[in-house]
């Protein structure tokens, strides 16, 4: 979501004459778009600010801190890094031009971390900053679920869904700018419930069916989902809408009912298993990825083994796993029974080894198969393009730039570090290549 937000900040600053550059060196304005989800992400902001300060002293570069660290720690930023010009939370991006102008007048640090009553999406211009073949689009923001470990409900605010018409208009603009694949974003994207032109409320499944009718839009994805909001219609969309990719990121966090309850997740491990069964029966080739937290306060060996058992049973194509990080202001940070770091480390290592094996097996199973790959950008070596399978695996293959933006049948040859090596075997592409030769 921060990648998407950064593109929208570029859009909103464009009328003032700003355009994105590759390096902070020589820039007029540097915006750090920040994440507050774990302590490590949050601490990085202050070290990065220290690194940027000499640029400001030398060239007068304006410095801004945006995103959730700004939202949660605005005052701390002003105290620890008073040389910062603008501090703005995620709900205030549309006010960036005004804040930058105020700071440029030398009026001191401009701080905006309110949750405004007006909706920022109504004030943002149409997306102009090219995101390329595969683009992000925020359809939902915020969260009302209050998992006991999580800062999101406090930093991103209450749950909000954009109207389908506004989402569709933005999707059309992105496709006109070269997007072939859209990833719909939201902290709780499958809680989406936008009101359409007839006044009816539609869910994420219906929204994707509507977007799938846009000419030139071939692939739809969404992230991040909550198991509780995975409704029958969304599951059905995986079966009835070919553009909806066979991949779901569905964080489970833990396989222990006791811990799931302490996390306030609102479901059991068995309910998660059942959901996976329903997704797999709707779309047998569906792949799942997930998020895990190890060492949540009070997690015992038995709780952790329940997580390992759940992973072993389900089989994930990919996963993100983290040590529990106490976040200020969240209920779990106040629980006395924090798990010692060494125990967290050992559990994380075991879990990640299992998840890595599963990811490896998942990728290996594709060797020798022919799959549609959406090519997006140049690879590291000359004459190479990188694309994605329907299951989000990166594939590199020899191809000219003519293949960028195309979905081409590709035979998977081997595993490569962090990707798959493939060979394009699509007849449409062969003839196009010959014509251009
Ligand atoms: N500690 C560790 N991991 C966390 N996450 C969210 N909050 C915390 C925390 N306090 C993880 C969850 C979530 C992902 C985005 O980040 O797994 O799904
Ligand atoms: Fe955080 Fe997700 Fe829980 Fe919301 S549902 S509180 S964003 S972990």
Say yes or no to pLDDT of 382 above 90: no
pLDDT (average), residues 358-381:
94
* pLDDT-based confidence at residue 430 (cuts at 50, 70, 90): low
Average pLDDT over residues 50-67: 94
Ligand with an atom nearest the CA of residue 296: 1
- pLDDT at position 434 is 43
Can you read off the two tokens belonging to residue 214?
A: 């846009």
Residue 46 CB-density burial (10 A; 0-12 exposed, 13-18 middle, 19+ buried): middle
Chain mean position to CA 308: 25
Q: Check whether 142 has a pLDDT greater than 60.
A: yes
Q: Whose CA is nearest to atom 12 of ligand 1?
A: 291
Q: Which residues line ligand 2 (CB under 6 A)?
A: 143, 145-147, 150, 152-153, 187-188, 226
Given this model, what pLDDT does residue 111 score? Answer: 81
Contact predicate 218/408, CB 8 Å: no
What pLDDT score was predicted for residue 436?
43
Ligand 2 binding pocket mutation candidate from 38, 152, 186, 223 (most atoms within 8 A of CB) = 152
Query: What average pLDDT does this structure show over 328-335?
Result: 94
Query: Tokens at residue 390, please?
Result: 């329907």
**Phi-psi region at 106: left, alpha or beta (left = phi > 0; alpha = psi -120 to 50):** left
Average pLDDT over residues 357-378: 96
The answer, yes or no, to whether residue 437 has pLDDT greater than 70, is: no
**Region 245-250 average pLDDT:** 98
| Among the bound ligands, the one closest to the CA of 38 | 1
Ligand 1 atom nearest residue 325's Cα: 1
Q: Residue 202 is encoded by which pair of tokens?
A: 């539609």
Nearest-atom index, ligand 2, CA of 143:
4
Q: Which ligand is nearest to the CA of 289?
A: 1
């Amino acid at each position: 979501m921060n990648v998407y937000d950064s593109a929208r900040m570029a859009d909103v600053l464009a009328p003032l004459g700003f355009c994105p550059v590759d390096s902070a060196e020589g820039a007029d304005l540097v915006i750090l778009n920040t994440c507050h989800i774990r302590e490590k992400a949050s601490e990085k902001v202050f070290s990065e600010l220290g690194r940027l300060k000499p640029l400001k002293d030398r060239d007068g570069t304006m410095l801004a801190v945006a995103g959730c660290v700004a939202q949660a720690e605005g005052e701390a930023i002003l105290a620890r890094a008073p040389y910062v010009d603008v501090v703005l939370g995620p709900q205030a991006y549309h006010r960036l031009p005004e804040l930058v102008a105020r700071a440029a007048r030398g009026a001191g640090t401009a701080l905006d971390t309110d949750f405004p009553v007006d909706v920022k999406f109504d004030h943002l211009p149409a997306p102009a900053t090219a995101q390329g073949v595969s683009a992000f689009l925020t359809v939902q923001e915020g969260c009302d679920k209050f998992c006991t470990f999580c800062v999101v409900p406090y930093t991103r605010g209450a749950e909000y869904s954009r109207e389908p018409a506004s989402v569709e208009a933005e999707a059309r603009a992105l496709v006109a700018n070269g997007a072939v694949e859209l990833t719909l974003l939201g902290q709780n994207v499958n809680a989406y419930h936008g009101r359409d032109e007839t006044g009816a409320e539609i869910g994420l499944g219906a929204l994707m069916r509507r977007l799938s009718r846009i000419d030139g839009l071939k692939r739809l994805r969404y992230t991040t989902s909550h198991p509780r909001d995975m409704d029958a219609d969304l599951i059905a969309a995986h079966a009835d809408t070919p553009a909806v990719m066979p991949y779901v990121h569905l964080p489970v966090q833990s396989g222990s009912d006791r811990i799931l309850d302490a996390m306030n997740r609102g479901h059991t491990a068995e309910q998660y298993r059942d959901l996976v069964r329903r997704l797999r029966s709707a779309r047998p080739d569906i792949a799942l990825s997930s998020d895990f937290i190890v060492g949540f306060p009070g997690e015992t060996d038995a709780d952790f083994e329940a997580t390992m058992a759940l992973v072993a049973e389900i089989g994930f194509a990919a996963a993100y796993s983290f040590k529990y990080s106490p976040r200020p202001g969240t209920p779990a940070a106040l629980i006395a029974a924090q798990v010692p770091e060494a125990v967290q480390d050992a559990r994380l290592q075991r879990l990640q080894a299992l998840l890595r094996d599963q990811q490896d097996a998942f990728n290996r199973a594709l060797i020798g198969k022919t799959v549609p790959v959406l090519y997006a950008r140049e690879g590291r070596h000359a004459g190479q393009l990188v694309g994605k399978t329907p299951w989000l695996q990166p594939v590199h293959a020899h191809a000219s730039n003519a293949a960028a933006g195309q979905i081409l049948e590709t035979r998977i040859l081997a595993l490569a570090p962090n990707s798959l090596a493939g060979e394009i075997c699509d007849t449409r592409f062969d003839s196009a290549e010959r014509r251009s030769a």
